Structures are given as structure tokens and as C-alpha cells.
Amino acid sequence: MSKPDTKYDIFTRNQGDQGQVRSRQWDDIQQPGVIIFETNPRQSRRSLLCLMALVFGFILFKAVVMASIGGDVYRQSVDLLGQGNYIDQAGAFLMRPDFATQFFANELSPLF
């Protein structure tokens, strides 16, 4: 009768399948039940880049809308949206024209 696989054996076998075997698997455990995770700087940088791309995309979206309908109509629409309920007011707060939106709208206006 063979010895059943332990959780450690299954863990190392699965990690080997992924090609990511760590040499310090049990060194991360300092006290029973306490596991210390180390952050990956690449993951933090990737998250920051994704957040920056999201913000830039939103500003560019506002600029395209502002350039296509015109600055005065855009401001009137945002002001009208600001007279609604709390969700509409939050949307108006996010959609209000800022410096970057106005700059990109002025650059994009010849295209529309």
C-alpha cells in the first residue's frame, strides 16, 4: 500500500506543471498559520499603468464628446445633468470639463 499524497506534494507538483516552482515555499511561514506574501513590483506597476490608461481614456472620451457637440452645448448638458438626483450630480461632477478635456477637445475639433 502506497503512501497518499500530502498537500505539499500536490502543491509542488502543481507548481512544477506551471513552471513556477519556488525554492522558498515553506520559508514564508514564520509562525503556524501565518503566511507572508511578498508583493511583485511588476504587478504594482501594471496596476498603476492600467489605472492611468483608464483615466486618460475617460478624459479622451469627454474630449471627443465635447469636440463633436461643441463646448457650449456640452457645458449646458453637464449643468442640466447636475440638476438631477444624486447619481446624476455625481455624473455631472465626473463629466464637467477640465483643463485636459478642453485642451484635447480643441485639438480634436478640426476632425469633427
The whole-model pTM stands at: 0.58
* pLDDT surpasses 50 at 109: yes
Res. 6: pLDDT tops 80 = no
Q: pLDDT digits over 48-104, tens only?
A: 899 999 999 999 999 999 999 988 999 999 999 999 899 999 999 999 999 999 999
- Cβ-proximal residues to 11 (8 Å cutoff; 6+ apart), any chain: 25
Worst-scoring range by mean pLDDT, 10-19, 26-35, 56-65? Answer: 10-19
d(Cα 102, Cα 56) in Å, to the nearest integer? 13
What number of CA atoms fall less than 13 Å from residue 72's CA on the CB side? 0
pLDDT tops 90 at residue 15? no
> Measured between alpha carbons, how far apart are the two ends of the chain, in Å?
78
Beta-strand runs (E) in 1-112: 29-31, 34-35
**What is residue 4's DSSP assignment?**
P
